[in-house]
Amino acid sequence: MEQHLGFAENDLESLKAFWTAKEIEQQPSCWKKTYAIIDECRPAVNAFMESVLAHPELRIVLTGAGTSAFAGRALAPALTKVTGCRVEAIASTDIVSNPYQYFAEDIPTLVISFARSGNSPESVAAVELANQCLRNCYHLILTCNSKGELYQRCSSDKRSFALLMPEETNDKSFAMTSSFSSMMVAAFSVFANGNELSKGIERFCKCSEALIKEINSPISTMSQRDANRVIYLGSGCFQGLAQESALKLLELTAGKVVACFDSPLGFRHGPKSIVDDETIIVVYISNDPYTRKYDLDLLKELRRDNIANYVVAVTAKKDEVITEGEYILIDNMESASDVELLFPYMLIAQLYAFHRSLVLGNTPDNPCPTGEVNRVVQGVTIHKFNN
């Protein structure tokens, strides 16, 4: 019988954790398939993007709801550098309530929508509001559901282009894992140099396949620590990942664990007061030599404070600061860019949330069976907007 994350399939089914475990574990395979899909339709993708990027004042908005929003937040810093354009991550939940502010500047705009189902009310409304507020608006839809409203609407819209992820990325579990990471691979693939990116994807896929096997048991042990709050810290693109990491833990534990995020520099400005002896702190360490200095400064400070229950650095490089305390090393990624490190780093957070959920007696596939929170959000009324 097959196993996923150290559990037999029948045990996972009885724990109501089968899909979450499977969808975390399958991600490196999904990333390869996603890149192959983009590569196959590269001529059409390039033709669409070249016409959009030809606008000299182009603004790029990355949007989505919940985890989908954090995909954009993690990628925005890297895409700004790659494209040379103004790139902003704005959640669709913010756009829907305040379109007159977020789209106040009527300039050529590309809205990139991340959407697992493509049926969330805010995701659909954000696209319509962008069209309503902007005279020259284009849409790149990244989704995992061919039957979703966002994917369907693109077929009749010349200013829209939709990319469909592999079928298995349309997660059956409550929490987004395969969908989140695969849409991120797709977004970066659209913009990045083909040969360079191909090598990068091959590298982080190979690394991640090995990492899941190596780190699953230690993460399971870490999840048994009696901690009622977890803080994720990261600079640049890792701040978006830290936000997603916190959400994943909140979702899978149904709020039994308080999880929050910040940047290492921002954390000192008040939020650090949350730390006590029941707190775990995870610091995502940058590979960039300059940014890394700030990450390591805070890591040293947190260890010196000796208040938290557990402080762990997630890193691709070892040095004397890292090895003075607890750390998780991502092998063979010493020369990787931070955007490449997003993918193995995210696995750490997903695995911890999964195992912590089980320790607390939750059911990861549906951590909130009473229905207060749903896989596709419910109860949202989209009000008419007149601009």
| Helix, strand counts (H, E) of the chain | 15, 12
* Percent of the chain residues topping a pLDDT of 70: 96
Go through the chain and tell me how many residues it has: 387
Q: Which range has the top average pLDDT, 67-71, 83-87, 371-375?
A: 67-71
Give the domains, in start order, of the chain with CATH numbers: 3-192 (3.40.50.10490), 218-359 (3.40.50.10490)
Q: What angle do CA 100, 102, 105 make, to 5 degrees?
A: 80
Is it the case that residue 213 has pLDDT exceeding 80?
yes
Quick one: average pLDDT of 49-59? 94
The answer to pTM > 0.75 is yes
- Per DSSP, the three-state class of 105 is coil
Quick one: average pLDDT of 126-136? 95
pLDDT band of 196, cuts 50, 70, 90: low
Helix 338-359 vs helix 237-252: crossing angle, to nearest 10: 10
pLDDT band of 193, cuts 50, 70, 90: low
Quick one: average pLDDT of 72-78? 95
pLDDT band of 47, cuts 50, 70, 90: very high
What token pair was written down for 17? 């954790």
Q: What is the pLDDT of residues 140-174, one digit of tens each?
A: 999 999 999 999 988 778 899 999 999 999 999 99
Quick one: average pLDDT of 33-48? 93
Q: Where are the alpha helices (DSSP H) in the chain?
A: 9-14, 18-25, 27-40, 42-53, 67-83, 92-97, 99-102, 121-133, 149-153, 178-191, 194-222, 237-252, 264-267, 289-305, 338-359
Is it the case that residue 180 has pLDDT exceeding 80?
yes
Q: Distance between CA atoms of 123 and 96, rounded to whole angstroms?
A: 9
* Percent of the chain residues topping a pLDDT of 90: 85
Q: Considering only CA atoms, which of 72, 130, 56 is closest in space to residue 342? A: 72
Question: What single DSSP character describes residue 273?
Answer: G
Q: What is the pLDDT of residues 340-383, one digit of tens each?
A: 999 999 999 999 999 999 999 999 998 876 555 555 566 677 78
The pLDDT score that the predictor gives to residue 383 is 85
The pLDDT score that the predictor gives to residue 100 is 94
Q: What angle do CA 188, 296, 344 make, to 5 degrees?
A: 35
In whole numbers, what is the pLDDT of the chain averaged over residues? Answer: 93
Is it the case that residue 287 has pLDDT exceeding 90?
yes
Amino acid at 105: E
Count Cα atoms within 13 angstroms, Cβ side, for 275.
25
> Is the sign of the CA dihedral 40, 42, 48, 53 positive or negative?
positive
Quick one: average pLDDT of 255-261? 96
Q: Which of 76-85, 174-183, 237-246, 295-304 has the lowest mean pLDDT?
A: 76-85
The pLDDT score that the predictor gives to residue 81 is 87
